[in-house]
Amino acid sequence: MAKIAINIATGSLQQNEVIVGIDLGTTNSLVAIIHPESKKLIAIKEHDSSSLVPSVIYFGNSNEVVVGEKAKEYLISNPAQTIFSAKRLMGKTYNDIRDGIKNFSYQIIDEDDKLVKVKVNNNFYSATELSSLILKELKKSAEHILKTPVNKAVITVPAYFNDAQRQATRDAGKLAGLDVLRIINEPTAASLAYGFGLSNEEEKIIAVYDLGGGTFDISILKIHNGIFEVLSTNGDTFLGGDDIDNGIVQYWLSKFKETANISQQQLRVLAEKAKKILSDTDNFMVEINGIILALSLPELETIIKPILNKTLECSKKALKDADLTIHQIDEIIMVGGSTRSPVIKKEVTDFFGKKVNDKVNPDEVVALGAAIQADILAGNTKDVLLLDITPLSLGLETAGGLMDVLLPRNTKIPARASRQYTTQKDGQSGIVISLYQGERDLVKDNRKLDEFILKGIPNMPAGFAKVDIAFLINADGILKVSAKELRSGVAQEILVKPQQNLSDEDVEKMLQDSIKNAKEDITIRALVEATTEAEQLLNTTEGFIQKNIHYLSQQELLSTSEALQALQLSLSMGDKNLIQLKMEELNAISKPYAERVMDLAVNSAMSGKKI
């Protein structure tokens, strides 16, 4: 078996192999490389076709999966089974996307505080699983064109992505069979593609204005001697070209009454087409089903204006946070397909008071930068600083024996990360915190580092305690883990040496095992998470019924009992989709009477009182 040779201190690979850069986008995704022979920076494309792969997934009636350009054909003919803008769902709960739910043509499960799930053909998919299918298609395409296996990648994310969204992106890569060497911010990648930071140039301050399909970022970077320092970042993970498309659709719906005969998805596809055409012309017109739809450039500019104003407000905040004025910005880089619009270029130029730099293809610039970062990690570019990194992921054990990663592999050190947890049982007075190192989804397959107990948690109902667990790793690789219950102030900490007794061969084997077992690990994780969630739902529902049985009708009690039994039975079947289906059915039965009982309780509590 081939070994993966890694320098523990720098994270660089010690052998020549293809490492790709991937821009996993909301609307389109693509792969780029520095060609191993010509040393040219290129975006990979099939023959003379576009380098862009639409981030669209179609699930057929027999659960066959189609990704990319062919999947787009089903956006109109079968919208309920065709997933788009999956990136907008990464790390999100239903509450996060509630206001924009009408813009999705497929079913998103309504669970307020749970991460979003999509239901297609009675199967349930997380945003991570959906993104993995896109990454798998990119991997397959790259291997076909390059005629060589592609197993390692650098993947970009918006600078505004939080830890959960970054970890979801890593997990998606692993599920696609990729060893994700680094997750880097899109503005950093864009700066590399423009050549900034690749030589010992004079200090420059760069604003990266990135308006993609689903997200907007404005980042202020200071670059000196090959070192990238992020001075500030601002943006919106739910603002982009999709909103322009939706704005065009709403405009047509209000102006052309006949659009009632055209599906929402057809309008959205036409809106995207109109937006692109109006980047080069002044008018757009199309006839569909005997109805003429038109849009002029001034009308488009009116639609874009509110979205553009939001991006400029974010830009003002980023400048303020960096304690800079617009006159101190040396370069403005334009990134993302939406920046092709002339009105956006003009307004951004006016805002910063200097011409924007859009010389590199805005659709490809992020992937090209990721390819440069991949080349740096491979040890081929020596002038850019690479800080020491964590050779393996660091995390702790959660319900069901799962590994919850706080510091992913290849995190630059020193580093700090924290996350909040809670108790599982009423009156729970302590939490066992078990620390692990490794890349597998189950802790039993990873290396245990240490364990300690946070004691003295006050008597509270399950879920009320808020325990903040923080990982802090210093430049010497010493890990300090602290735990604090935020309501009571009870705290405990421990020092660990996460790299002790680990040889290069140990690291290599653990990485190989994680890639080899990625699909099985993700499947097991999804089943364990569904099982844990189902058990919590069973306990919550049974407890609610015991306390409120006199408020429920006999029919409601009977229906609930049958749904509880069906869910309990599904737990023994080992089928994630079946468990989630039975949870959905139980929620559908219990939600109406739970809301009714809550209303009665509120009315009773407020009776005779004035506000």
Of the listed 87, 92, 136, 174, which one is catalytic? 87
SS3 per-residue string spanning 301-323: HHHHHHHHHHHHHHHHHHHHHCC
Q: Is 217 a catalytic residue?
A: no
Q: What is the dihedral of CA 65, 68, 72, 74, to 10 degrees?
A: -10
Of the listed 23, 245, 397, 521, which one is catalytic? 23
Of the listed 129, 137, 171, 210, which one is catalytic? 210
Q: Tokens standing for 136?
A: 């798998």
417 and 404 Cβ atoms separated by less than 8 Å: no
Residue carrying the six token digits 């553009």: 308
437 and 377 Cβ atoms separated by less than 8 Å: no
Q: Is 383 a catalytic residue?
A: no
- Helix, strand, or coil (residue 257): helix
Helix (H) / strand (E) element for 491: namely strand 491-496
How far apart are alpha carbons 151 and 515 in whole angstroms? 9
Q: Provide the β-strand partners of residue 34.
A: 41
How far apart are alpha carbons 474 and 481 in whole angstroms? 12
Q: Is the dihedral of CA 198, 21, 436, 469 positive or negative?
A: positive
Backbone phi, psi, residue 588, to 5°: -65, -35
Of the listed 111, 179, 186, 243, which one is catalytic? 186
**In whole angstroms, what separates CA 301 from the centre of its chain?**
30
Put the strands of the sheet holding 331-335 in their side by side order: 227-236, 216-224, 204-211, 331-335
Strand-strand pairing, 56-59 and 82-84: antiparallel
| Residue 85 zone, left/alpha/beta (φ > 0; ψ -120 to 50; rest) | left
Using alpha carbons, list the distances in angstroms from residue 87 to 80, 157, 381, 413: 18, 10, 31, 28
How far apart are alpha carbons 80 and 476 in whole angstroms? 52
399 and 223 Cβ atoms separated by less than 8 Å: no
Q: Look at the chain and count its residues.
A: 611
Q: Is 444 a catalytic residue?
A: no
**Residue 489 DSSP label:** -
Q: What is the dihedral of CA 571, 575, 579, 580, to 10 degrees?
A: 160
Query: What letter represents residue 454's amino acid?
Result: L
Q: Is 282 a catalytic residue?
A: no
Query: What letter represents residue 554's amino acid?
Result: Q
How far apart are alpha carbons 170 and 439 in whole angstroms? 11
Please give the positions annotated as active site. Answer: 23, 87, 186, 210
